[in-house]
Structure 1
Amino acid sequence: MKVIVDTSVWSLALRRNYKVDDSPYVAVFKELITDGRVALLGAVRQEILSGIRDVNQYNRLKNYLRAFSNLELNIEDYELASEFYNICRSNGIQGANTDFLICSAAARRNYTIISTDKDFENFSQHIPITLFQF
């Protein structure tokens, strides 16, 4: 099964001074890459690349990420993301648009989500998403 990897896990794994053994997220992420199970949304790609000031570092990361194709989204993904936003909002839970796109893409495809962001745990109380279990 494919796993949508949130920006928080990508960021953790891509830190230059980080050891894989230091985080279960990074260890699992490495396994997901090896198994070809990583799903990457274009919006997550944008988040990963945003804010990198050094042009050489930006270009290296951009080229690295090109190994991962974008998970193609369609109208239904965006509509469901807005429904999820509205459901969570009506239950007092805030979230980012990218997070709800991740949720809708995962729900429509029966994919799992891996994130260090606890917001996804809150979302899962009200919308049908599956979070990666360690």
Structure 2
Amino acid sequence: MNLLIDTSVWSEALRRKNKSVNSEDTFLFQIIKNEEEIFLTGIILQEILTGIKNQKLFDEINDHLRFFNFINPTNKDHILAAQLRNDLAKKGITVASIDVLIAQMAISNNLTLATYDSDFEKIAANSKLRILNFNQYYIKK
């Protein structure tokens, strides 16, 4: 499965207290264990690295993340994301512009978005976005 991994999933694994990053109870661990194709984008990379004050840890995480597939938004993605956000707003659904762009990039690149963020559920219910949460994934495997 080709997965765009949302910040919420990275954060669960990278910012755990008193547990190993490789803990089997993390969504990311299960995805890596099952050798899924993992994709990353600039805004998610930025969100992952933001707030890491320890430079050694920052550099270490950044170094590991460079091995994943990287996608960039196109001008068309930005336009389609704006249209999608406008369509959602007409239905009374408010979501962050950046989340709609992430969703649009997943749609455009035929990726499933692995996430814990309920805003993406709203987007998926009103678009072609495919999402996957840990419970769905864990049951499938």
Q: Same fold (TM over 0.5)?
A: yes
CA drift at 1:18: 3.2
Q: Which amino acid letter does the alignment assign opposite residue 117 of structure 1?
A: D
Q: Is the 8 A contact 2:38 2:69 kept in 1?
A: no
1:75-117 superposed Cα distances (whole Å, 9 cap, x missing partner): 1111111111111222222222221122111112221111001
Cα 1:86–1:62, aligned 2, differ >3 Å: closer, same or farther?
A: same
| Matching of residue 70 in structure 1 with residue 47 in structure 2 | no
Distance (whole Å) between structure 2 residues aligned to residue 31 and residue 118 of structure 1? 25
Q: Report the aligned-residue RMSD.
A: 1.8
Report the counterpart of residue 19 of structure 2 in structure 1: 18
State how many pairs are aligned. Answer: 131
Q: Which amino acid letter does the alignment assign opposite residue 110 of structure 2?
A: N
TM-score normalized by structure 1?
A: 0.86
1:34-90 superposed Cα distances (whole Å, 9 cap, x missing partner): 34x111011100110111111111111111111224212211111111111111222
Distance (whole Å) between structure 1 residues aligned to residue 31 and residue 88 of structure 2? 28
Q: Is the 8 A contact 2:24 2:30 kept in 1?
A: no
- Greater shift, 38-47 or 92-101, is seen at 92-101
Q: Which amino acid letter does the alignment assign opposite residue 14 of structure 1?
A: L
Counterpart of 1:29 (choices 31, 34, 54) is: 31
Q: Which has the higher contact order (CA 8 A, sep 6+)?
A: 1
Whose strand fraction is larger, Structure 1's or Structure 2's?
Answer: 2
User: Where in structure 1 do 4 or more consecutive aligned residues deviate above 3 Å?
Assistant: 16-19
Q: Which amino acid letter does the alignment assign opposite residue 112 of structure 2?
A: T
TM-score normalized by structure 2?
A: 0.82
Unaligned segments of structure 1, at least 5 residues: none
Distance (whole Å) between structure 2 residues aligned to residue 129 and residue 69 of structure 1? 19
Report the counterpart of residue 50 of structure 1 in structure 2: 50
Identity of aligned residues (%): 32
Unaligned segments of structure 2, at least 5 residues: none
